[in-house]
Structures are given as structure tokens and as C-alpha cells.
Amino acid sequence: MTALHEFPMTRTCPFAPPAAYEEIREKDPITRVGLPDGRQAWVVSRHEDVRTVLNDRRFSADRQHPDFPQLVPGFRRPDDERTMITMDAPEHGPARKAVLGEFTVRRMEALRPRIQEIVDGQIDALLAGPKPGDLVETLSLPVPSLVICEMLGVPYADHDFFQTHTTKLIKRDTPPVERRAAVDAVRGYLADLIAGKEDNPPDDLLGRQIVKLREEGTYRRAALAATGFLLLVAGHETTANMISLSTVAFLRNPEQLAAIRADPGKTLDAVEEMLRYFTIVDAATARLCVEDIEVGGQLIRAGEGVLALGYSANRDPRAFENPDELDIDRGARHHVAFGFGPHQCLGQNLARMELQIVFDTLFRRVPSLELATSVDDLPFKDDANIYGLYRLPVTW
């Protein structure tokens, strides 16, 4: 069968999915596409079907499997780099449970004063700096990076090192050799950091994991380094890009911005809408079918790859009225920007709180904030697997 489209597809508008997504969703919602390695996979594009795929154990998250649909040709992680996002039951549950307690609503709320302090400090730096300033450099990236570094017990002084390497990891065109070297560098750094904590584990996430896993008799430095790698990368890249994109969206929609300024109680709903509207991690929810199953009337056979398109699902008019409109009063928390089912994003409570604090504080303290260039001239991350902005020039 000839592939209808080639994947991944590029956004031609920063505020809309690739045009082909709507065509697929409305005309052929479960169809075949070509992958970068020359193979084919199914794409699932409607909200209900995407949730079905993500919540059914007959779809595997095991990226080590040779038939798993790879969006980065020539790059596979060895077995010792497996983390909870690449595990299936029964392994997945215990691996996730081991760190789940670090991301409860209660623990996140305990972090709120420190996150507020970090946000205020970065806005101080923005206001004290030159005009125009780069919001990515002064706010979007430092805030989640500082937060996750403090949680893990990673020295923030080393942030340039790991951010340089993670930038290579999220770009689609990074050669496999460079991608491997970037993974090895960050993993090696974390393994050395963890080794330094082993004799006297501190009260940070990595230190507490050392104690907990030793008590259970399951401690392995390499496995904890893999977990730390996952949390470090996921903990700053995603939220940083959401801060930048949402700031642009607010400035382009002054009536929506005025609504949260007048009533900060609306900010959390605005956060949910921004998450739905941008869905910056679109195809991280790839899966491998391991048992024949029918989804949306289409038979998918064991051994076939599946891409559950979260961005298409979040613009599905069957699930969201007028889905292409930005509406902070929508109150639609059933979006799949954080995934769905057993692999739903572990850090979503942290991300929501960071975004809420940033938006409330930024627009209160810098009421005259505006873009210092046209939207057309902004450097969007069209070449990355996590969508966002490389720079965001602003003035006030």
C-alpha cells in the first residue's frame, strides 16, 4: 500500500497543526503513513481513538522492539537506558510508582513559594537587562530548568552543559552519532553525580531514590541515571516551550490576556487551553501493536506501528467545539497534551503550576509587555520533536 503522507509533518502555521492532519482526521482517520526509515505505520487521528490506543495494553511503548515505529532513523537506546516511558506492564507500574510520590499535588504545592521566588528572580533579570530582551533566555528556559535541577539535586551551574546536549536530542536532523554522544554525555554526567550522592544521600529526588531503592534491594546506579535523564530533559524542555508559545498567544489575543489579568482564577483554565491548543509533543505517543485489535473500525495487526496524533486529537471537533479557536473559558481538561492512560505525563502537576505562576506573575509585573518583532519573524522550532521557540524578543 502506498503511504498517503510522509511523517513527521511540519507545521506551516505556528498556531495550527499540519494541514494534512485535518484531511486525515475527517476523511481517513486511521490510515497509513511513511516513516523516515522507509517503513510504514498507522496514524490514529481522532480524540476517542487516540485515547483508546494510549489506554490499551495491546499497544506497547517498548522502543527497544525492532518493529517499534521510529521517528529518528538509526537511533536505538540499549537496554540499560530503558525508563518508565519505554516499559510495559508488569515492569511499568513499579518503575512509575517509585517516583510517583515526588510529583503529587501536595508535594508540588509545597514547592510553590520557591517556584514563585524563581519566577520573580528571572523577571527581575529581564527588567534589569537590555531592551528588547529574549524571553526564552531570561524566563522560559531558566524557570523550569532551575526548578527541575533543584528537585533532582543537579547543580544549575551545569545547565549550559545539559541544555546544549538536550537541544541536539530534540532536533530531528541531529545525526545518530551526535545523538548517541549527547545521550552518553548527559547519562555519564548523571551517573557521576549520583555516585557522589551514594555515601550520604541528600534530601533531593535522586538522594531519596537511592535510599528507597536500596531499602527495596533494587538500586542500580545506571537505572537511576536513566530515570534522572528522563526527568531532567522532560522537566525543562516541554515547560520552557509552553511558556514561550503561550506568551505569544496571549499577546496576540489581548482579550484573553485581559481576562486572566482581571481574574487570576481563570489562569488554570487558560493553562489547560494553551496545552490543548499547542500540543507541543505530538508524536511521543508512538506505540507498537502486540495483539490484533480493531480501533475505530480499522483492524490493526500485531507487529504494526501506530502513531497516536495528540495534536490532531486536540483539534478534533467531535471532542472540542470550534477547536481551532483559542478560548481560555473552554474548561476542556480532557485534552491529551499530557498523553493518556498508564503513561500519562508524570510531571503534569508541576508543569501546570509553573505555567500558572509564570503567567500570573509576568503579566502582572510587566503589563506593557509586547513582542519586539513580528510573529512571522519569530524562530519557531520547525525542526524539533518538541515544538517551541528558539528565541522570543520582547520589550516593555
Give the position of cell 497509513.
32
Question: Three-state DSSP class for 170?
Answer: helix
H or E segment at 221? helix 221-252
H or E segment at 50? helix 47-54
Which residues neighbour 305 within 8 Å (Cβ) at sequence distance 6 or greater?
35, 39, 40, 41, 42, 67, 68, 69, 286, 287, 288, 289
Digit-coded pLDDT (tens) for 306-317: 999 999 999 999
Q: Are 9 and 18 in contact (CB under 8 A)?
A: yes
Per-residue three-class SS string for 84-152: HHHCCCCCHHHHHHHHHHHHCHHHHHHHHHHHHHHHHHHHHHHHHCCCCEEHHHHHHCHHHHHHHHHHH
Query: Phi first, then psi: what are they for 43, rounded to 5°?
Result: -110, 140
Kindly give the parts of the chain with pLDDT less than 50.
1-3
Q: Is the pTM of this model over 0.75?
A: yes
Strands of 305-308's sheet in order across: 5-6, 30-34, 40-44, 305-308, 286-289, 59-60
C-alpha Rg value of the chain to the nearest Å: 21
Residues 75, 179: Cα–Cα separation, whole Å? 8
Residues 380, 375: Cα–Cα separation, whole Å? 9
Identify the pLDDT of residue 75: 60
Cα angle value 120/124/125 (rounded, 5°): 120
Digit-coded pLDDT (tens) for 72-85: 876 666 555 678 99
- Class assignment of domain 5-395? mainly alpha
Residue 65's DSSP bridge partners are none
- Nearest CA among 222, 229, 223, 207 for reference residue 162: 229
Q: Are 183 and 232 in contact (CB under 8 A)?
A: no
Identify the pLDDT of residue 120: 98
The number of beta carbons lying within 10 Å of the beta carbon of residue 96 is 17
Residues 10, 384: Cα–Cα separation, whole Å? 10
Residues 220, 100: Cα–Cα separation, whole Å? 18
